[in-house]
Amino acid sequence: MGFFTFFKLMTVLFNLLIFLGGLTLLAVGIWVSAAEGSFLRVLGPFSGQGLQFVNVGLFCIVIGAGLLLLGLLGCCGAHKESKCLLLTFFSIILIIFIAEVAVGVVALVYSSFAEEVIRAWATPALQKDYGSDPTVTNIWNTTMTELQCCGLSNHQDFVGSKFVEENGGSLPPSCCRTGGAPCSPNDAERSAVHGCFDHILETLKEQANIAGGIAAGIGILQIAAMVVSMYLYCYLDKRIN
């Protein structure tokens, strides 16, 4: 088997893997977007402002769909020995690779102060929206019930809130060990139910790690695919000339 035939087969193989990787990334993007849609509503105003330009789920969907098309394009270019398709494939995948690196850098930078950002927006949401906004209330109730936690940090997040004022000083039932109403601040203090922040942050980290791991694997495949596609392009260029 000559070098050209070997690289041709490798190009097809890498593009097949890129196609499968794009399909996986697309599925992860849909999953992250579905989970993110619910979680961001929990964070209240942060859902409409802070992540408008850092939407990991949407990014995964767009890149995944693009990789699906690129996988097909690369396979066709290698099979038909088309210089035009190979060059187009190389150029587009290089642009996508640069975009992935840029987003990865942004994600690393923002993850360093994710805790402060979450606390800055979630606590005001509990103070103003919990009990009055059905969506926020239902999501927080579900989160606190399933995770057996209270508020973001603890029951103090509800002290002085609109919910407490409208319910005669009672806190959400999840803030007391008994899980029943009424739940007074003194009962909540004795119960010492932990906050939901650690669970929420862990969920975000798990999603980020999964998406990051898949993106890193696809990035390696992209580099390999660019190398073999450029080799094929140069070989065809020399053969034609």
Percent of all residues in the chain with a pLDDT value above 70, rounded to a whole number: 80
Give yes or no for a contact between 45 and 125, defined as CB atoms under 8 angstroms apart: yes
Count other C-beta atoms under 10 Å from residue 41's C-beta: 19
Alpha carbons 124 and 107: distance in angstroms, whole number: 24
Whole-number pLDDT of residue 240:
61
Tell me the CA distances in angstroms from 145 to 118, 126, 140, 195, 218, one per residue in order.
20, 16, 8, 12, 38
| Predicted confidence (pLDDT) per residue in 141-159, tens digit | 888 888 888 888 888 888 8
Q: Give the end-to-end CA distance of the chain in Å, rounded to a whole number.
A: 23
Count the neighbouring beta carbons within 10 Å of the beta carbon of residue 203: 15
